[in-house]
Every structure is written in C-alpha cells, then in structure tokens.
Amino acid sequence: MMEPDPMTTDLSHDVGHDAGTPDTHESHESHGLTDLGYVQVAVALAVITGLEVYASYADWLGRAFLPILLVLMVVKFFSVVLFFMHLRFDSKIFGWLFYAGLFLAVSVYVVALFTFHFFDG
C-alpha cells in the first residue's frame, strides 16, 4: 500500500487549529473565564476594596464595623481562590485539598488563640 502524499493531503478541516489543541470555547469552559470575565472579577474586587477602605474611615458603622469587614474579606478571599487560582475550574480533588488545608490552618490558629487566652474578655 502506498502512504498518502503529505503535499496532496486535504487539511482544510484543520485550518486555524493546531493538532491536539482544544477549541477556544472549550478552553474557556474548562480552564477559566474569558478575559472579560477576569476584568469583571478584578473590578468587583476593586469595588470591595474601596468599600473596605470606606468602612475603615466611617465612624457611623459602630459595632457593625468588624462584621462588615470580615464579610468583605471572606468574599474577596473566595473570589481570588475560585477565579484567579482556578479552583472553581480544576478537579474536585484540588478543592478538597485546599479546603482541608484551610480548615487545618484556621483550626490551629484558633487553638493557639485559646492557648494564649485571647478570647477571655
């Protein structure tokens, strides 16, 4: 049998695509957001940072100051972890490993605070 001549083989179905490279649409679904999506997340993070700075100067918040800052901090943390660290788009095992480590670190920190009687009014 004769092998096909590479000069005459029809490659029109591969125009614009490298062999083995996923389609652009599939790439965004499995590996993250579009560029616009990342810009939107960055703008949202900038707005939240602005709210945190405003809250630090707002005297009228009173006792709500710390809970508001903690909620904003948690929203920013998970936004960065999920989108910029791609945890939302990665395998579930990476999520479990990350959250297990996070839980362990927070637990050790809380135990250390209790050891130094930090929570004793």
Q: Note whether 96 and 53 are same-domain residues.
A: no
pTM: predicted TM-score of the whole model, two decimal places: 0.65
pLDDT in tens, 10-40: 554 445 445 554 544 444 445 778 999 999 9
Q: How many domains does the chain have?
A: 2
Domain contains 40 = yes
Q: Residue 4 domain-assigned?
A: no
User: Do 78 and 41 fall into the same domain?
Assistant: yes
Q: What pLDDT shows up at residue 8?
A: 55
What's residue 10's pLDDT? 52
Q: Is residue 96 in some structural domain?
A: yes
Q: Let me know whether 108 and 72 are in one domain.
A: no
Q: How far apart are CA 11 and CA 24, in angstroms?
A: 19
Within 10 angstroms of residue 13's Cβ, the number of other Cβ atoms is 6
Per the structure, the complete domain to which residue 103 belongs is given by 90-121
103 and 66 in one domain?
no
C-alpha 27 chain-centroid distance: 17
For residue 83, how many other CB atoms are within 10 A of its CB? 20
Give a yes or no: residue 15 inside a domain: no
Mark whether 112 and 67 lie in a shared domain: no
Same-domain check for residues 99 and 82: no
Residues 111, 84: one domain? no
- Tell me, yes or no, whether 38 and 78 share the same domain: yes
The predicted structure's pLDDT at residue 99: 95
